[in-house]
Every structure is written in structure tokens, then in C-alpha cells.
Chain A
Amino acid sequence: MTHLIVNGELRTVSSDPDTPLLYVLRDELELNGAKFGCGLGQCGACTVLIDGQPVFSCLTPLLLLEGREVRTLEGLGTLENPGPVQAAFIAEQAAQCGYCIAGMIMRTQALLERSPNPDDDEIRGALEPQLCRCGTHMRIIRAVKHAARSLSAAAEATK
């Protein structure tokens, strides 16, 4: 048994410790956000946050994660109440097939937590590990800027 904090909740999982986190999330915890893309850490479709840092869940075995905090797409918001980054991607219609977008959103979340007002080059640099095949990149970059603006406005409002 391994204990994880997934999207703020303590979860006890029974998958073998050598199981990559991706399969624990998808198959045992039934979370759809992280996607299988390559299993090689080359495409970023499986990106989640561990203790706030973006990682490839397809390469991260469960045994490294005892007691650690995992955040997935589901932890950012819901269909009824999407989080600020999700809302920005929806507002910019930044998806075609959408398969890669969960990873894009997680990478964006990590970027904006570290750097609230990234410029174009910083956004491109941060998203470099993430592949998109539909060619939605321009909208994704717009969505990241949109999210940065929403988060700054929200931070300003709570001051």
C-alpha cells in the first residue's frame, strides 16, 4: 500500500510500487486527466504536478511517491467550476482534439505558480516538453497569457 495526497485528499493505493503513477491515476483512481502518450517522457501528455513540480507520470514509479502531493487536471477545477487556467483555455478555445491539453494545462499551472507574468519566450520554453499534433500552439500560448492575466487580476482583487 502506498499513501498519496491526490488533489488534496489522502488516498491509499494498492498498485505494485513499480507501477508508473500514470496507471495508478487512470486505472486505480479513475482520473482521466493524465493521458498515455508515449511512456517515454517525450510528449508530456501525462504531465501532473508532484509537490508543485511538473513531472511525466508515465515515468514516475509509485514507490517514489509515498506521502507526496499529486495534482492532476481534476484538481484544478470541474466542468461546472473550472479553475482559472482551465477557464482561460476554454475561453481561448485552445484545443482541437484536446488529448494533449491536460498536460499543457498542468505545465501552465506550474509555470504561473513560479512566474506569474511570463513573456512569450518564457512560455515557449516552459511548454517545450509538451507536444501538440493538431497545431493548437498559437491558442495555447494565448491561453497561458489569458490565464496569467486572470490570476493576476484575482490576486490584485484579494489584496
Chain B
Amino acid sequence: MRHDISRRAVLQGTGALILSFALTRRAFALTETGVGDTSVHRLPGDLDSTPMLDAWIRIDPDDSATIFTGKAELGQGIKTALLQVAAEELKLPLTRLTLVTADTGRTPNEGYTAASHSVQDSGTAIRNAAAQVREILIGEASRRTGAGADELVARDGVVTGPGGLRLSYGELVSPQLLHVEAQPTSNLTDPKDFTVMDKPVPRVDIPAKLTGVASYVQDMRVPGMLHGRVVRPPSYGARLVSIDATSVEGMTGVVKVVKDGSFLGVIAEKEWTAIQAMRQLAALAKWNETAELPDESRLAEALMALPTQDTVILDVGKPDAAQYDVDASFSRPYLAHGSIGPSCAVARMDSDTLTVWTHTQGVFPLRNALAELFAMPRENVRCIQVEGAGCYGQNGADDVGADVAMLARALPGRTVRVQWMREQEHAWEPFGPGMVVHLQTALGADGMISTWRQEVWSQSHMMRPGPPGTLLAAREKADPFPPPPPVDLPMPEGGGDRNAIPLYVLPNARAVNHFLPEMLLRGSSMRSLGGYLNVFAIESTMDDLARLSKQDPVAFRLRHLADERAKAVIITAAERFGWDGRPKLPAGGGYGFGFARYKNLEAWCAVALEISIDQDTGRTIVERATAAVDTGQVVNPDGVRNQIEGGIVQATSWTLFEGVRFDRRRITSIDWAAYPILRFAHVPRAIDVHIVDRPGLPFLGAGEAAQGPTGAAIANAVRDATGQRLHALPLDAAKIRPQNLLAGRPRAGT
């Protein structure tokens, strides 16, 4: 199919180039992690792309070990989980392990830390590599002593055997011993013998963070470091017409003003000077603004009016009905990642090499983008991941990496730090895309779903680097890079259509993904991608169908499921919540249930909750939420709980409060007042997480499992409390306020 990209969308993307192109869904097929699409060596996890054992594990003569992962700590606790896996299989105490995270100079290339894949990809690789290293060390002890390998035991970094045989790992290791390719299978530790895995090991990074030890890229401080700030245009695609920066260049403490096309930045001795200089530059700059944004109040219509590329992702039976019992469009606004710490990076240019310290989710793709942006060989650019504030997807991390590199290249030999301002993060981060899902469903006489039709409208959820044109600075430069072709992440993981195929048994069903190559606002990956709205729509509809056929919503779901692990989490959540026999609530109270298996491939999660709606203000509070989750083999149960609790709270915020605001030209929700998120007064009163234990089964990501089920459960509880179904997110107080929704009460459940 061929589609012309409209001038408006292209202006927002680049400010310049008008292009049309032909693309198919497969042409830019890509996984969300950027690697692992096809197996090369048939090895477990990311051993497949990096098969040498010593790329993952180094044993030192002092009996310590260093573990290398290409994944990044994003606050999800991955450092601790990966160390647990390594310690368990190496048979080394945690205290003797060091972990090196994503660094293009040192670690395996594991693409992006995304899609809840880190334990699955890197954890599986490290677990297998560690088990194989342990066996190699045992083999070496056997070779040296003549003892049979089956007589030898590895424990606490020592191989012991008959006759007092005792050799430490440090004694056994030699430079080339681990420089071997991994084998397809490993002698993995039986879950019943775990001493470190499946234990609530405290996070290794928390004590330092809570006592003020430098822990974040924002905390980096090197002698002679300078502070930079950038001036972003007032709207998408605006071009810098003129600026007289003389007065700023003359400010005490200003080192340099950097201008390249519409890219404008300043470097100063002190951070506060850089901020004042940035403000002065912003006041002096004259811009030509061309952006045309849609009518915010008619976003769903604007999305559905865009040209589409259609893919039928599900087609079984004869999904047609004379009339539909539920026929509704669900929508979400654009959502901000809303990191509490604005994005930050540090860079230094030395002769022909560039080093960038960054909290990107993908050091290798960012390295490639920067190399191309500056026409440098890739080996001359090094990106080192240092933690930032939680990102929940692609925030400004990559963009600020390019910004600081632009400044550092203008001042070789000096280290420069740039942090975005709050309004820059809020206006320029690539938002979680606005979306529409249309559902048409019908029930048979037996109370089972006879027909299901689902359509999804969404732009790309994957506009990360590689291509330099993904980076703001690259588009603003005098010789700009074009925006990259939008990536439609293919099934089975999907992008906008993630979770658009219900897990329920449906004899007649059809689902269509309407991919939108245009972008009304800048967007990219945000936690759970399209899964949040698809699950919101599916689970709202399941609830309505249950009501229509006078069936209990939990029983109705169970009737439509064949997947035993799905049933187990639903039953667990319902039982622990006390779903059956739940007491009748006073006015404003409601119960809701939601369920999904994330991506239909990762963790299963069910959420039951109770809400109360303030009868005067329309404000919703989650009184209590109970979740059940199945993530396969658990590495750290407290880590899983922390992720699910956090997912429930964050999704509560998305569902009740959030939406990016804009006028016809500019993003207007540029601070926490204009983009409110949940504060303590509206935090759920209680959250209870139950893990369905699955020892020995493959790892499944947990980080995004709770988002969809939570949003849906809240919507269903609002329906229960008010008698009315809300289809457009957010379900904020204005929509529910007495003169609106609550005015409809009392109204018998249909």
C-alpha cells in the first residue's frame, strides 16, 4: 500500500522534508527490544546473539566474578534480579559479584531494555552462561585432579571433592578458559534447591540511592565539568528565524552559545548560569511556527480520519452479526511518561572520540544514531548507561543524549552535562500515542459470545534510535536528518494492536489493526504500548456482555477461557478479593474486575478492586485492589510485587487523571499543574498482590502486566457505581461529577 504523508504531519516530524514512501508491515519489522527477532545459534535468551561465555561472565583470581548485561537498570530492580540469577547458578555469594550494565564499550548488545524482556532475554542468558561456567570450572578441576566430574561439587566459589580436594574458582580460572561458545543446553539448578533465586533479596541499589550516594547520571560530577542547557522551539517543527545572542555570550560565566540551524544551546561554568542564559536565549529567539495540531476535544475523530495501513490480525469463523449487543469506541488521549527527573546526559569529545553517559534504554542504538548524526565511525562513539529517574518507556533520554553531544562537540576536551527543564520534558518527550479501539460484539442464546470484531487506530509506538532522525537535535540542525519511517511493530507482540486479540475463546472473531503512519503528536514507546487501551476496551466489553446476559463478570470470563494459567490468576484474584459474596456498597461505591495476559505472551494478571466516588466532586478513589499474577519462574518475589503494585498505582493515575493537553499549535500541558498525576490523597487505600508460583517454568516479564487490567477494573467499577459506561479516558472527576454522570443515578443495572 502507498500513502502520502501529509505536510502537516511531516512538519511536525521534521519541519522540512515532504516524502512519500511505500512500506509494508514486514519491511520494517522489528522487535520492541531491537534484537531477538530470529534465532541465529539456537541458544537460550540473548546468548543467541552473544554466544561467547566470557562476554557475560568474568571470574577473577580473587574468586570474585563480574557479570555483564546489555540491559539497563530503570528502577525496575533488574540489577538485583540478574545478580540473583548469576549467584544461584555460579554458586557464588552475591557479595562476590559485580554487575556491569549496558555500555557499548564493555557489555553484550542486548538492544533496548524494553517490553518486559530483560529477565527473559538477559536473565536467561546469564543463568545459562553461569551454569555453563560453573560446569567448565568443575571440568577444569576434574582435568587437573583426575577426580570424576560427578564426584565434584561447586559451592561458595569452591570446587570440592574426595580426599579433601579443594580448588577455588580463582585458582581454576585461566585467561582462555571461559572464551568459549555457549552450548544449547545447561545443567540448571533445580528450583527446589534454590538458595538465592525466588527469594526476596533486597535491592542492591536502594541503600545508596536513599543516603545520597551519587547514583544517577544527574549526580555525575567530574572536575572541570560544564553545564549546558538547550532552547527548544515553541512548537513542533518551528524554525529559528533569527537570534542575536551577543548579550548572552557576554554574560559572566557563559562559555559558549551553540547554534546549528534551529538547534540552540548554551554552555556555562555553573548550572544556574546556564539556566539563566537559556531563558535569555529563549526570550531573544524568533521562530517561525507552522505546526497544526488537531482539535484536542475531537482527538478520536482526528485519529480515525487519518490514512491507515490495515492488517487483519485475527480472522476466525464468520464474525458477522445482524446486530451487536455492544458497539462502542474506546479512546485514550496522548499520555506523558512523566519522569520525575527530567532527562539528563553527560558527554565529552576528545580528539576524534565521543563518550556519552546516558540513561537511554538502548546504548547501542543510541551510539549508532549519534555516529551517523556526526558522521563518525561507530567505534569512536561510546555510550555508557548510568541510571536516571524512572522512564516507563522512551522519555527524553535519547534526545538529551544528542543535545549534550551537540554541545560537547562544540567544546572538545571539556565534559558537559545537560539536564532538560520540566517544561521541555513535558512538551518534547515522545508521548504514549492517543488511540481508538472500536468493538462490536454479540451474544448467542447460550450466553456465550457469538461474534467479536475489534479495530484499532494508532500511530507507531516505536520511534526510538537507530535512525538519527528520531532525535530532536538531528531534526533541528542546519543539515537535518529526515524522520525515520514509522515502525509498525508486528504481531505477535504488536504495537498499537498489542493485546488486541482477546485471550478468550471466540468462535467468530476478527481484529484489524489500522496503523497510522502520520503522527498528530510526537510519540513512541510507553509502558504496555497499545495493550492498555486494548485491554481497557476488551475488559469493559466483557463486563457489559456479562451484565447484558445477567452473568457474574468473573464467571463469564472463566466460561470463555481455555488457558488454565489465565483461569488460575482470575480465580486467585477473585478469591483473595472476596468477589463472591462481596457486600453491597453505599452510593458511589463500585466493584470492578480486569484481566489480561500481557501481549498474550508474558505474565498473566487479574485485578479486582473496589472504588468509591465522592458524590459531590466526582473524584474516584480505589479503596482496595487485589491482584494475582503469574510470571513463570520468579527471580525475586518482592521485585514482582513492587512492579505490580507500581503498575496498579501508575495505571490508576493514567486512568483517572491523565491526558496531554494542546492548542492548535503548541503542547500546553508543560508542567504538573497542567498535567496532573495521582498524588497521595488519591493513592489506593490498600493493594494486595498474590503471586501464582510456577517453579521451573520460563521467566516472563512482569513490569507491564498490571496496566491494562487495572484501567479496565476501574472502568468497570465506575460502571458498577454509576450505572453508566465511560468509553473515553481519562475517567476524571469532570466526567463523573454529579451534574454529568452521577445525575443518571439511580439507574438499574441493565
A31 CA to B211 CA in the complex, in Å?
10
Do B218 and A35 touch across chains, with their CB atoms under 8 A apart? yes
Choose one: B74, B213, B649; the contact of A32 (CB below 8 Å): B213
**Interface residue tally on A, bucketed by range:** 35 or more
Choose one: B77, B221, B648, B684; the contact of A30 (CB below 8 Å): B221
Is A90's beta carbon under 8 Å from chain B?
A: yes
Do A95 and B209 touch across chains, with their CB atoms under 8 A apart? yes
Contact with B along A78-111 (1 / 0, CB 8 A): 1100100010011001011111111001000000
Within 8 A of A (CB), among B170-225: 202-203, 205-216, 218-219, 221
B209 proximity list for chain A (CB < 8 A):
95, 98, 101
Contact with A along B647-658 (1 / 0, CB 8 A): 111101100000
A120 CA to B685 CA in the complex, in Å?
9
Do A98 and B680 touch across chains, with their CB atoms under 8 A apart? no
Is A56's beta carbon under 8 Å from chain B?
A: no
Contact with A along B217-258 (1 / 0, CB 8 A): 011010000010000000000000000000000000000000
Within 8 A of A (CB), among B565-580: none
A82-B207 contact given A74-B212, A97-B390, A135-B646, CB 8 Å threshold: yes
State the Cβ distance, B227 to closest chain A Cβ, in Å.
8
A95 proximity list for chain B (CB < 8 A):
75, 203, 206, 209-210
State the Cβ distance, A77 to closest chain B Cβ, in Å.
6
A96-B212 contact given A35-B341, A39-B422, A135-B650, CB 8 Å threshold: no
B219 proximity list for chain A (CB < 8 A):
32
B213 proximity list for chain A (CB < 8 A):
32, 79
Do A138 and B74 touch across chains, with their CB atoms under 8 A apart? no
Contact with B along A125-146 (1 / 0, CB 8 A): 1011011111111110100000
Do A97 and B642 touch across chains, with their CB atoms under 8 A apart? no
Choose one: A42, A93, A123, A135; the contact of B673 (CB below 8 Å): A42
Is A113's beta carbon under 8 Å from chain B?
A: no
Is B387's beta carbon under 8 Å from chain A?
A: yes
Is B298's beta carbon under 8 Å from chain A?
A: no
Do B203 and A93 touch across chains, with their CB atoms under 8 A apart? yes
A138 CA to B678 CA in the complex, in Å?
13
A97 CA to B212 CA in the complex, in Å?
14
Choose one: B270, B341, B679; the contact of A37 (CB below 8 Å): B341
B650 proximity list for chain A (CB < 8 A):
133-135
A102-B218 contact given A23-B270, A42-B673, CB 8 Å threshold: no
Within 8 A of A (CB), among B636-682: 638, 642-643, 645-650, 652-653, 671-673, 677, 679-681
Is B525's beta carbon under 8 Å from chain A?
A: no
- Interface size counted on chain B using CB atoms at 8 A: 61
Is A33's beta carbon under 8 Å from chain B?
A: yes
B536 proximity list for chain A (CB < 8 A):
none
Is A70's beta carbon under 8 Å from chain B?
A: no
State the Cβ distance, B635 to closest chain A Cβ, in Å.
15
A23 and chain B: residue at smallest CB distance = B272
Do A36 and B341 touch across chains, with their CB atoms under 8 A apart? yes
B679 and chain A: residue at smallest CB distance = A128
Is B506's beta carbon under 8 Å from chain A?
A: no
State the Cβ distance, B612 to closest chain A Cβ, in Å.
15
Do A27 and B672 touch across chains, with their CB atoms under 8 A apart? no
A95 CA to B647 CA in the complex, in Å?
13
Do B681 and A128 touch across chains, with their CB atoms under 8 A apart? yes
A78 CA to B638 CA in the complex, in Å?
24
Do B211 and A73 touch across chains, with their CB atoms under 8 A apart? yes
A74 and chain B: residue at smallest CB distance = B212
Do A73 and B390 touch across chains, with their CB atoms under 8 A apart? no
A86-B210 contact given A36-B419, A134-B646, CB 8 Å threshold: yes
A76 CA to B681 CA in the complex, in Å?
27
B203 proximity list for chain A (CB < 8 A):
93, 95
Contact with B along A38-68 (1 / 0, CB 8 A): 1110110100000000000000000000000
Do B645 and A37 touch across chains, with their CB atoms under 8 A apart? no
Do B342 and A37 touch across chains, with their CB atoms under 8 A apart? yes
State the Cβ distance, B403 to closest chain A Cβ, in Å.
16
Do A135 and B649 touch across chains, with their CB atoms under 8 A apart? yes
Do B207 and A133 touch across chains, with their CB atoms under 8 A apart? no
The 6 closest A-B pairs by CB, nearest first: A97-B75, A135-B649, A97-B390, A135-B646, A98-B209, A99-B389
Given A95-B75, A136-B642, A138-B684, 15 more A-B residue pairs with CB atoms under 8 Å apart are A15-B272, A31-B212, A32-B212, A38-B422, A40-B671, A74-B211, A79-B208, A82-B211, A90-B206, A93-B206, A95-B210, A120-B685, A131-B672, A136-B645, A137-B649
B residues sitting closer than 8 Å to A (CB atoms) are: 74-77, 202-203, 205-216, 218-219, 221, 227, 270-272, 338-342, 387-390, 392, 419, 421-422, 638, 642-643, 645-650, 652-653, 671-673, 677, 679-681, 683-687
